[in-house]
């Protein structure tokens, strides 16, 4: 079915994705991976929490690691334009029968907690503590040289419903995959900040977090990371790639942290600022949809993901399957 026409005047103004918190079972091991191997910068560290940011980010953090008994993702966080947008968002969610609450979060101002219709936990804020810029402190660049958080990808049990809901919030669809037999959307990419996506949805057992992505300077940084991981004990954490997506045209690599949380390293997608851009449609059976060079993804990429804390995922009713690598 066609994706909905974009809502260019949403009830509240989301600027971009912001951050996510992960429950990790070994805080020291996770910190070593995210900071020492990937190259994110630590902005706070204690016995229970570690906060990190990427090189171009002025906000306090884009990743929070929390010591936990079970590995989970907590909430997908988004920055809104101004404080009044938080009040408008509260009204918007509650008129749709979705519970909201004000929650306390360190290093940021007033924060609204809500969820989407499938139960994906969402949080919104307008102000986060600002840190001094470090993007020209080249001595700090290490690992894959992550510049900024780029997007979330989530499993959804009903991608059409997810697209409709986030479209109402003002997210615009850039590309989507359709199952020709059922005419249902199997996956979709939606943005606020002018890239290909801030959030994407993949058909499957959900809601779960499929991956969190980071923008890096060039494909050569991805090659460097592969050399580092393969010679420092992280060979088994390399899941898929490197390659170039058909969707988004981006160069990519998928890896897993010590708890299995999936991370995409990502660069070279295209600008989507114009509000009248038409979404690009892909057929689910197109070999170049996943990878422009034709290589399919492994089964783990379609089945494994991070469970949201306190949320029980449900199976998707759409059973259509893309091409899966025979390994």
pLDDT for 83-116, tens place per residue?
999 999 999 999 999 999 999 999 999 999 999 9
Instruction: Give yes or no for residue 2 having a pLDDT over 80.
Output: no
What number is the average pLDDT over the span 126-131?
98
What is the C-alpha separation between 301 and 276, in angstroms, rounded? 32
Domain that holds residue 202: 145-307
Query: Whole-model pTM above 0.95?
Result: yes
Determine the pLDDT at residue 234.
98
Give start and end residues of each alpha helix (H) in the chain: 27-31, 83-95, 159-168, 219-230, 287-290, 299-303
Q: Are residues 28 and 166 in the same domain?
A: no
Q: Is the pLDDT of residue 11 over 90?
A: yes
Domain count, the chain: 2
Give me the pLDDT at residue 327, please. 65
pLDDT at 66 exceeding the cut of 80: yes
The confidence score (pLDDT) of residue 323 equals: 86
Q: What is the mean pLDDT of residues 206-234?
A: 98
* pLDDT range class, residue 158, cuts 50, 70, 90: very high
Across the range 207-219, mean pLDDT stands at 98
| CA dihedral for 238, 243, 246, 248, sign (positive or negative) | positive
157 and 65 co-located in one domain:
no
- What is the rounded CA–CA span in Å between residue 213 and residue 252? 9
In this prediction, what percent of the chain has a pLDDT beyond 70?
Answer: 99
Pair (97, 167) in one structural domain:
no
Is the Cβ–Cβ distance between 248 and 197 less than 8 Å? yes
Domain presence at residue 47: yes
Q: Are residues 119 and 155 in the same domain?
A: no
pLDDT digits (tens, 9 = 90+) for 187-198: 999 999 999 999
111, 164: one domain: no
CATH number of the domain bearing residue 200: 3.10.180.10
CA–CA dist 113, 103 (Å, integer): 7
* Arithmetic mean of pLDDT, 170-192: 97
The first and second tokens of residue 324, run together, are: 């899966």
């Amino acid at each position: 079915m066609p994706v909905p026409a974009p809502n260019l005047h949403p009830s509240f103004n989301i600027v971009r994705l912001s951050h996510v918190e992960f429950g990790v079972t070994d805080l020291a091991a996770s910190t070593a991976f995210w900071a020492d191997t990937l190259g994110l910068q630590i902005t706070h560290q204690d016995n229970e929490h570690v906060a990190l940011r990427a090189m171009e980010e002025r906000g306090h953090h884009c990743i929070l690691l929390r010591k936990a008994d079970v590995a989970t993702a907590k909430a997908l966080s988004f920055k809104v334009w101004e404080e009044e947008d938080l009040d408008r968002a509260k009204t918007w969610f509650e008129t749709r029968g979705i519970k909201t609450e004000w929650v306390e979060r360190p290093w940021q101002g007033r924060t609204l907690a809500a969820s989407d219709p499938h139960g994906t936990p969402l949080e919104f804020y307008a102000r986060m503590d600002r840190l001094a810029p470090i993007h020209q402190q080249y001595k700090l660049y290490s690992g894959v040289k992550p510049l900024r958080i780029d997007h979330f990808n989530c499993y959804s049990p009903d991608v059409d419903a997810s697209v409709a809901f986030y479209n109402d919030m003002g997210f615009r669809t850039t590309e989507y995959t359709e199952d020709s037999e059922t005419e249902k959307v199997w996956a979709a990419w939606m943005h606020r900040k002018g890239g290909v996506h801030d959030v994407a949805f993949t058909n499957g057992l959900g809601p779960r977090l499929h991956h969190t992505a980071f923008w890096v300077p060039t494909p050569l940084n991805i090659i460097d990371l592969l050399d580092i991981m393969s010679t420092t004990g992280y060979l088994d954490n390399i899941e898929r790639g490197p390659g170039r997506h058909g969707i988004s045209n981006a160069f990519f690599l998928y890896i897993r942290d010590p708890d299995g949380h999936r991370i995409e390293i990502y660069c070279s997608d295209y600008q989507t600022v114009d509000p009248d851009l038409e979404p690009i449609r892909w057929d689910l059976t197109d070999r170049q949809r996943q990878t422009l060079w034709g290589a399919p993804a492994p089964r783990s990429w379609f089945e494994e993901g991070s469970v949201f804390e306190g949320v029980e995922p449900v199976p998707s009713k759409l059973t259509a399957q893309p091409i899966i690598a025979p390994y």
